Amino acid sequence: KQEVTQIPAALSVPEGENLVLNCSFTDSAIYNLQWFRQDPGKGLTSLLLIQSSQREQTSGRLNASLDKSSGRSTLYIAASQPGDSATYLCAVSSGGYQKVTFGTGTKLQVIP
Amino acid sequence: EAQVTQNPRYLITVTGKKLTVTCSQNMNHEYMSWYRQDPGLGLRQIYYSMNVEVTDKGDVPEGYKVSRKEKRNFPLILESPSPNQTSLYFCASSLKVSFTEAFFGQGTRLTVV
């Protein structure tokens, strides 16, 4: 059974810092991995999708990497802003790609 | 506007009283799924559907039913709700049968007393 872990559970940084969020998974036979953002009282917003054959994806100040062999993904946020404050979740599609397993998330606070 | 709509957003009910949470998407997506989110446990998949009349269990399907009679709708049914089903529920859809670039609803906060 796939298990997804995100460390740390919470992170507080001053505005302008570059930061890295971590996601690890136990079964490397994945179809894809996605990073989501969740704001309080709202649904999830897809940030980046990495297919199993890819190593990284970039969107603006966000860069996500994938190392299937080690079961790890990182989300790099450059020049953090207070508007980046949210909970970040990673999700792995595996087991025939229809099944999705989420991590428990990292709650990020960017202090002005 | 592309969106996934869940109703209701908030619901308080009593143990054993059947309820349905509706989910509708306007993007002609094939894949739809339901999740529950609990503190410390993250989001867990309840059921998913790859197309009309095609549904399958996720990781925590006990106590829930779903149906997919139309492509746009994927209701979640609790035949006899219990307090351990108190949770925040999310519906999601994606174009392809692979959960790519999923769109999520706003969530339904359910309390069973």
Cis ω before A14 (30° cut-off from 0): no
Contact B45, B36 (CB under 8 A): no
Judge: B4–A43 Cβ closer than 8 Å, yes or no: yes
- pLDDT tens digits, residue range B44-93? 999 999 889 999 999 899 999 999 999 999 999 999 999 999 999 999 99
Q: What is the nearest CA distance from B79 to chain A, expressed in angstroms?
A: 24
A61-73 confidence digits (pLDDT tens): 999 999 999 999 9
B41 contact A CB<8A: yes
Res. A96: pLDDT tops 70: no
User: What is the pLDDT at residue B105?
Assistant: 94
Evaluate if residue B98 carries a pLDDT over 80.
no
* Stronger pLDDT, A24 or A97, i.e. the higher one: A24
Q: What is the pLDDT of residues A17-39, one digit of tens each?
A: 999 999 999 999 898 899 999 99
- pLDDT value of position B99: 63
Which of B40, B101, B106 shows the shortest C-beta gap to A42? B106
Q: How far off is chain A from B36, nearest CA to CA, in Å? A: 11
- In this model, does residue B6 exceed pLDDT 90? yes
In whole angstroms, give the CA distance from residue B3 to residue B40.
28
Q: Residue A100: what pLDDT?
A: 86
Task: Assign A108 a pLDDT band (cuts: 50, 70, 90).
Answer: very high
Quickly state the pLDDT bin for A97 (edges 50, 70, 90).
low
Whether B43 sits inside 8 A of A89 (CB atoms) is yes
From the CB of residue B77, how many other CB atoms can be counted at a distance below 10 Å? 13
A104 lies within 8 A of chain B by CB: yes
Residues A37-60: tens digit of each pLDDT: 999 878 899 999 999 999 999 999
Average of per-residue pLDDT values in chain A: 93
Contacts of A33 in chain B (CB under 8 A): none
**Inter-chain touch B59–A45, beta carbons under 8 Å:** no
C-alpha A106/C-alpha A92 separation (Å) is 16
Subunit contact B42:A103, Cβ cutoff 8 A: yes
